[in-house]
Amino acid sequence: MVTDTVHVHAADRIDRVAPELFGHFAEHLGRCIYDGVWVGEDANVAHDAGLRAETVSLLAELDPPVLRWPGGCFADNYHWEDGVGPRAERPTRRNLFWTQGPENEPIESNEFGTDEFLRFCEAVGAEPYLAANVGSGTPEDAARWMEYCNVESGPEHAELRREHGREEPWGVRWWGVGNEAWGCGGNYDAASYAQAFARYATFLSAFGRVVEPGRPVDLVGVGHYYPEWNREFLEVLDDRGVTGFLDHLSFHWYHQVGDAVEFSDEEYYRLFADADRIGDAIDEVAATIDLVTDATPGEDVGVIVDEWGAWHPEANGDDGLEQRNTVRDALTAAGVLDRFVERADVVTMANIAQTVNVLQCVVETDAERAWPTPTYRVFDLYRPHAGATALAATVETDARELDDDTDVPCVSASVSRGDDGGVYATVANRDLDGPRTVRVAGLDGVEAAFAEVLFDGQGAREHSRAANADAFAADDLAVDVERDGVVLELPASSVAGVTVA
């Protein structure tokens, strides 16, 4: 018996799903960069000129569209010129915010700098997204960084890049103007940060706002999920007539309910409720942008969520923000990605925190090995949405009622149509108690369908380790094809992707 229905409104096309919605974030924190990504050229583990080979190959398989670096809070404590040139000559600095590396010390060796990061991006196939230092840097430093990365030749920093062995410009499109400017990025108020943003943007714009002919540089301003911050920031830009500098406004979204692994059933469902609220937060940011900039014709500011994910109590700064990664986490990621796809018309990028070993990472490593987390599998399952056209869909499902009367839908879904005309739907069953039979309806003339499912029989509290990582891989799932839809039986705490032709 069908228990839930995903009604696809096939004629209601939302927008193209920017591939960047499936982006990642990596910071100089814990074992994310040092150990997770960078093991150095003298390492005993397999590496490609210092980059951990297994991390590179796992990420390359995932095809990440974009990778944000070097922070996070670290970005506003980072001086890029420390991290270029011969490694033996680079200075060692204090990491003011985090302990990091296998020794877990607040020390930044600068072994991994701009060229290493950009080479890593090339190796995994991701576009780089650099966060410039606003809190303790200068607009001049930021502009020189852009020159180093993007200008073909002469006279100063482009030449420096060439001396360091890279003839071609790196062509970095995405530039963040600071990070969490209201907190670790300098404790600005919104109006002062708007002044700082305009100042930085003035000098970054000196490079013509193009990476190469026809390809723009995108500047990202620091926003908040507090509407007041966004309104004030935008109003100052608007009053000065410089909203045109701002291409995207970002905010961060972390969720935490109960322990990473020993959570109650109530906490299991509440994490979905908290994660799903990101949809309302995006709507609110977009509404504020519209309110302030609508009077300015031609201004189009996208919404970026450049840090998001589960942050469990066991992840604390002294231990490099490491936490166990469970099936529950992966299912919340599925819900968040659904909220992004539903809002493909406003969300221009999102970056889960943080790529390797830290918070809701997609890859974990120990001394010698690297393996994918359950969340990695969800990102892999959602790949067909990237670049497709999001279709409106409504989900008719039961809800689990929490102690404070919050209703948590048992099924979450999102739907898109690819360039070949086929439809792709991702459907999660969050029900802890058993399978649900879900019809995806409203599709005309269905001829064939193929589905895969994640986490069949694993249980929400299962977490990834080197020894069990393969068990989280996708299995084939039976699909009943109907004239105008398909029916899937989804096991408890699972998520499926179904391709319909």
Q: Which of the residues 349 through 368 are near ligand AHR (CB under 6 A)?
A: 353-354, 359
Q: What is the DSSP track for 367-423? A: SS-EEE-HHHHHHHHHGGGTTSEEEEEEEE--EEEPTTS-EEESEEEEEEE-TTS-E
- Site size toward ligand AHR, by CB under 6 A: 11
Max Cα distance, the chain (Å): 71
* Closest distance of CB 343 from ligand AHR, Å: 22
Binding status of residue 8 toward ligand AHR by CB under 6 A? no
CB closer to ligand AHR out of 353 and 496: 353
Q: Which member of 235, 307, 342, 431 binds ligand AHR (CB under 6 A)?
A: 307
CB closer to ligand AHR out of 180 and 247: 180
Binding status of residue 442 toward ligand AHR by CB under 6 A? no
User: Contact, 18 vs 388, CB < 8 A?
Assistant: no
Q: Which two tokens stand for residue 287?
A: 């509404």
Cα–Cα distance for residue pair 358/36, rounded to 1 Å: 9
Q: Tell me the pairing of strands 479-482 and 423-429.
A: unpaired
Binding status of residue 71 toward ligand AHR by CB under 6 A? yes
CB closer to ligand AHR out of 264 and 316: 316
* Closest distance of CB 3 from ligand AHR, Å: 38
Secondary-structure percent of the chain, ordered helix, strand, coil, rounded to 5? 30, 30, 40
Residue type, 391: L
* Closest distance of CB 307 from ligand AHR, Å: 5
- The window from 66-74, 77-85, 148-156, 322-330 that contacts ligand AHR (CB under 6 A) reads 66-74
Exposed/middle/buried for 146, CB within 10 Å: 0-12, 13-18, 19+? Answer: buried
Binding status of residue 393 toward ligand AHR by CB under 6 A? no
Binding status of residue 293 toward ligand AHR by CB under 6 A? no
Residue 265's contacts (CB-CB under 8 Å, 6 or more residues apart) are 432
Report which residue's Cβ sits closest to ligand AHR: 72
Q: Which of the residues 238 through 257 are near ligand AHR (CB under 6 A)?
A: 252
Binding status of residue 221 toward ligand AHR by CB under 6 A? no
Binding status of residue 180 toward ligand AHR by CB under 6 A? yes
Taking the CA atoms of the chain, what radius of gyration do you get in angstroms? 22
* Closest distance of CB 205 from ligand AHR, Å: 25
Binding status of residue 23 toward ligand AHR by CB under 6 A? no
Q: Which member of 14, 33, 56, 73 binds ligand AHR (CB under 6 A)?
A: 73
Residue 303's contacts (CB-CB under 8 Å, 6 or more residues apart) are 248, 249, 250, 251, 282, 285, 286, 289, 343, 346, 347, 348
Residue 472's contacts (CB-CB under 8 Å, 6 or more residues apart) are 327, 330, 372, 373, 374, 377, 454, 455, 458, 462, 464
- The window from 70-78, 220-228, 261-269, 380-388 that contacts ligand AHR (CB under 6 A) reads 70-78
CB closer to ligand AHR out of 337 and 353: 353
CB closer to ligand AHR out of 128 and 485: 128
CB closer to ligand AHR out of 4 and 180: 180
Catalytic positions: 180, 307
CB closer to ligand AHR out of 30 and 65: 30
Binding status of residue 20 toward ligand AHR by CB under 6 A? no
- The window from 30-38, 67-75, 163-171, 279-287 that contacts ligand AHR (CB under 6 A) reads 67-75
Cα–Cα distance for residue pair 312/327, rounded to 1 Å: 14
Q: What angle do CA 119, 123, 126 make, to 5 degrees?
A: 90
User: Contact, 62 vs 380, CB < 8 A?
Assistant: yes
Cα–Cα distance for residue pair 45/43, rounded to 1 Å: 5
Binding status of residue 179 toward ligand AHR by CB under 6 A? yes
- The window from 5-13, 71-79, 442-450, 491-499 that contacts ligand AHR (CB under 6 A) reads 71-79
Residue 384's contacts (CB-CB under 8 Å, 6 or more residues apart) are 416, 418, 424, 497, 499
Q: What phi and psi, each to the nearest 5 degrees, are found at residue 128?
A: -80, 150
CB closer to ligand AHR out of 100 and 365: 100
Q: Which member of 19, 64, 70, 72 binds ligand AHR (CB under 6 A)?
A: 72
Binding status of residue 100 toward ligand AHR by CB under 6 A? no
Q: What angle do CA 451, 457, 459 make, to 5 degrees?
A: 120
Q: Interface with ligand AHR by CB under 6 A: which residues?
A: 27, 71-73, 179-180, 252, 307, 353-354, 359
